[in-house]
Amino acid sequence: MATTVQQAQQSSSAASIVVENPATGAVLTTLAAHTSEQLAEMAARGRRAQPAWQAIGFDGRAKVLRRMQKWVLDNGDRFLDTLVSETGKTREDAVLAELGYAAGAFGFWAKSARKYLADERVRTSSPFLLGRKLIVRYEPVGLVGVIGPWNYPFTNTVGDAIPALAAGNAVIVKPSSVTPLTSLLIEEGLHACGIPEHVFQVLVARGPLGGELVDVVDFIMFTGSTETGKQVMERAARTLTPVSLELGGKDPMIVLADADLERAANAAVFWSMQNGGQTCISVERVYVEEPIYDRFLALVAEQAHALRQGAPGGFGSVDVGSFINLPQAEIVQAHVTDAVQRGARVLAGGHRGQDGPAFFEPTVLAGVDHSMQCMREETFGPTLPIMKVADAEEAIRLANDSPYGLQASVFTKDLAKGERVARRIQAGAVVVNDCNANYLALEAPMGGWKDSGIGTRHGPDGIRKYARRQTILLTRFAPKKDLYFFPLRAWHGKLLLGALKLLYGRGERG
């Protein structure tokens, strides 16, 4: 049973994947990459294993998931050590956004799968179906493929597999080749908690094999860049494989003149720098009303200057870790350089970090506008560009002036105003006087508008997407022949037409 890092290393393959700690450059391990032939075998094994997993029902699957909830907490130090070592993120980031999510998600989907996937009784308004019984039921699609990103090796990779498993599917997870160790650790844990062999498998491979994964599964969940997401969707179209895509973001924050400035500044700094800014729903651009602009800049710059950056150690050792995928540093540098050349002012940071190529200083940019890359393209790094606006109307217009629509936030002491502004922002989620807190509400859908994706995770659709819907109509009492059965008679048609006019032909009164 290939469930551990050591066993993955021993699998036969011509290619290998070197996993490094990005913060230190230390080699963690070398894994044998799976081949196309091995992927085909994995898919066949998953399909053979899936019916028995489905057959144990919601209660049987919930027992495994609840055991796994306890396992990740019992093995919390190992979980965190693995995440921190392969990502360079701080231990606090790993606790907040990865371990905390794991502990909540295993229990949530164990509890909620039955509620979201139970048979539904449908009441119809059609008089022609009187006496019939209508049921909508959910059947697992079979084999689900999850292609995850490098920035959240658990939450946006394994996390998307949990509802698929709870629905009764077998799953093949393909983590990023930069961060595969967390998925392999979870595979080990799931087997220790009693999941049947081959129901959950990890594909260790580089990007091209992800395309082949699309070809052999019944549903694909992808999280990553918009460009790659379009390629996934195009390939899935060849086999009519349904997809759910969470893609890029350029998430705006609007700070209105009546906001609690200290809270807004604290939130802006944290949610732009958390995880090194490598979060799809991080604050990537800020619009501040003119009367409070200078004060807001001062508060943010003061905080940013005080941030500690370096290779993560234990809790409290640093505030901001490293880049997870080193080429991302070039994008961040290009965006900062472009902004400065176009007239932006650097209030903090602005340069590569002193701890090596995996670091970029927490950076605050003022005097920015929409001619600059940092306000229009996804930066995905520890930067915070801040733009002055005349009023809320200008802020809303600029917030919506983007091909992306994933997440947004609004800060104001007037909650009614905050809700009015939120309803006008073109994004899948908008938070008032907070940022990203909605992600903790697994009952609520999370997904992007525009170029930020298709479909949602979380909420009812977060698990129903992994199931096929089937409508069943049951007829208990009925005549030998309905009125519209053959042979057709003129009076039949006239009677039906009269009935339609009686039922629907009166229109609105008044």
- In this structure, the answer to whether residues 136 and 256 fall within a common structural domain is no
**In this predicted structure, what is the pLDDT of residue 15?**
86
Of 318, 251, 287, the residue nearest 398 (C-alpha) = 287
**In this predicted structure, what is the pLDDT of residue 10?**
43
Is residue 21 situated within a structural domain? no
Which are the contacts of 480, defined by CB distance < 8 A and separation ≥ 6? none
Q: CA dihedral in degrees (100, 102, 104, 108; nearest 10)? A: 170
Kindly give the confidence (pLDDT) of every residue in the chain, 510 residues in length, as a single tens digit, with 9 standing for 90 and above.
344 444 444 443 448 999 999 999 999 999 999 999 999 999 999 999 999 999 999 999 999 999 999 999 999 999 999 999 999 999 999 999 999 999 999 999 999 999 999 999 999 999 889 889 999 999 999 999 999 999 999 999 999 999 999 999 999 999 999 999 999 999 999 999 999 999 999 999 998 999 999 999 999 999 999 999 999 999 999 999 999 999 999 999 999 999 999 999 999 999 999 999 999 999 999 999 999 999 999 999 999 999 999 999 999 999 999 999 999 999 999 999 999 999 999 999 999 988 899 999 999 999 999 999 999 999 999 999 999 999 999 999 999 999 999 999 999 999 999 999 999 999 999 999 999 999 999 999 999 999 999 999 999 999 999 999 999 999 998 889 888 899 999 998 999 999 899 988 887 664
Is residue 439 situated within a structural domain? yes
Is residue 123 situated within a structural domain? yes
- In this structure, the answer to whether residues 322 and 408 fall within a common structural domain is yes
N- to C-terminal Cα separation, the chain: 72
| CA-based radius of gyration for the chain | 26
Query: Count of CB atoms within 10 A of residue 313's CB?
Result: 12
Q: With contact defined as beta carbons under 8 Å apart, do 173 and 148 qualify?
A: yes
- In this structure, the answer to whether residues 433 and 463 fall within a common structural domain is no
Q: What are phi and psi of 286, to 5 degrees?
A: -130, 135
- In this structure, the answer to whether residues 262 and 343 fall within a common structural domain is yes
- In this structure, the answer to whether residues 421 and 281 fall within a common structural domain is yes
- In this structure, the answer to whether residues 231 and 334 fall within a common structural domain is no
- In this structure, the answer to whether residues 298 and 442 fall within a common structural domain is yes
Q: Whole-angstrom Cα distance, residue 499 to residue 471?
A: 27
Of the residues 280, 284, 374, 377, only one is catalytic, namely: 280
Instruction: Let me know how long the chain is.
Output: 510
pLDDT tens by residue, 285-339: 999 999 999 999 999 999 999 999 999 999 999 999 999 999 999 999 999 999 9
Is residue 6 situated within a structural domain? no
- In this structure, the answer to whether residues 240 and 256 fall within a common structural domain is no
Which are the contacts of 371, defined by CB distance < 8 A and separation ≥ 6? 342
Q: Whole-angstrom Cα distance, residue 383 to residue 110?
A: 38
CA angle 160, 220, 106 (to 5 degrees): 15
Query: Count of CB atoms within 10 A of residue 355's CB?
Result: 15
280 catalytic residue (yes or no): yes
**In this predicted structure, what is the pLDDT of residue 508?**
63
Return the half-sphere exposure (C-beta side, CA atoms, 13 A cut-off) of residue 49.
20
435 catalytic residue (yes or no): no
**In this predicted structure, what is the pLDDT of residue 139?**
98
Is residue 17 situated within a structural domain? no
Scored b (16 or more CB within 10 A) or e, 270-298 reads bbbbbbbbbbbbbbbbbbbbeebbeebbe
What pTM was estimated for this model as a whole? 0.94
- In this structure, the answer to whether residues 130 and 48 fall within a common structural domain is yes
**In this predicted structure, what is the pLDDT of residue 14?**
47
Is residue 143 situated within a structural domain? yes
**In this predicted structure, what is the pLDDT of residue 355?**
85
Amino acid, res. 85: S
Of the residues 188, 246, 377, 378, only one is catalytic, namely: 246
- In this structure, the answer to whether residues 231 and 335 fall within a common structural domain is no
Please give the residue range of the domain that contains residue 403. 251-447
* CATH number of the domain that residue 373 is part of: 3.40.309.10
- In this structure, the answer to whether residues 402 and 416 fall within a common structural domain is yes
Of 369, 373, 406, the residue nearest 386 (C-alpha) = 369
State how many domains the chain has: 2
